[in-house]
Structure 1
Amino acid sequence: MAKDTPQPETTADDAASPETATDDANADVAEMSYEAARDELVDIVARLENGQVGLEDSMGLWQRGEALAAHCAQWLDEAEAKLKD
């Protein structure tokens, strides 16, 4: 006979998906200047290329780098659009 084991209650924090946690961790990217985002992206690429970062940290850095690259690309697209007007 299996004994019923009480399950812990799920909180709002527990229900957050990894994507939501990543979005929260990268929320500051939207407020960064192009130069600040580019400089941080260059640093992240160097750290990943170095190979001294563990797998979990590498995944976090990769996600942060993706957010930074997207921000830089958007910034450049908007600047190009302004120049064409």
Structure 2
Amino acid sequence: MPTDETANIADLSYEAARDQLVRVVAELEQGSATLERSLELWERGEALADRCEQWLLGARARLDAARNSAPDGAAQ
């Protein structure tokens, strides 16, 4: 089973991606990582942020679809 660090980002739930992103940011903020590690963290953080955004955009699309399919005035 992959660890958080090696998990395929595309397979992560919103919550898992968000939690990993929080850990990445915390490690970067400590400032104790090597330059190479900092770059790896930055790249993973960017990918995790993109994954979170994909989830949020998908959720928004589902909500919009639900609102549009509701009878007039029912989902206001």
Q: What is the Cα deviation at residue 27 of structure 1?
A: 7.2
Residue deviations 1:19-76, cap 9 Å, x none?
xxxxxx9770000010000000000000000101110000000000000000000110
- For residues 41 and 26 of structure 1, the distance between their equivalents in structure 2, rounded to whole angstroms, comes to 13
Letter in 2 for 1:59: L
Would you say how many aligned residue pairs link Structure 1 and Structure 2?
A: 61
When normalised by structure 2's length, the TM-score is 0.76
Match of residue 55 from structure 1: 35
Give distance in 1, aligned partners of 2:63 and 2:51: 18
In structure 2, C-alpha distance between the alignment counterparts of 1:43 and 1:68, rounded to whole Å: 11
Unmatched tracts of structure 1, length 5 or more: 1-24
Q: Which residue of 2 aligns with 1:78?
A: 58
SS in 2 for 1:39: helix
Runs of 4+ in 1 over 3 A off after TM superposition: none
What is the TM-score of this pair, normalised by structure 1? 0.68
User: Cα–Cα, structure 1 residues 63 and 69, in superposed 2: closer, same or farther, change >3 Å?
Assistant: same
Q: Aligned to 1:35, which of 15, 35, 39?
A: 15
**Structure 2 unmatched ranges of 5 or more:** 66-76
Identity %: 56
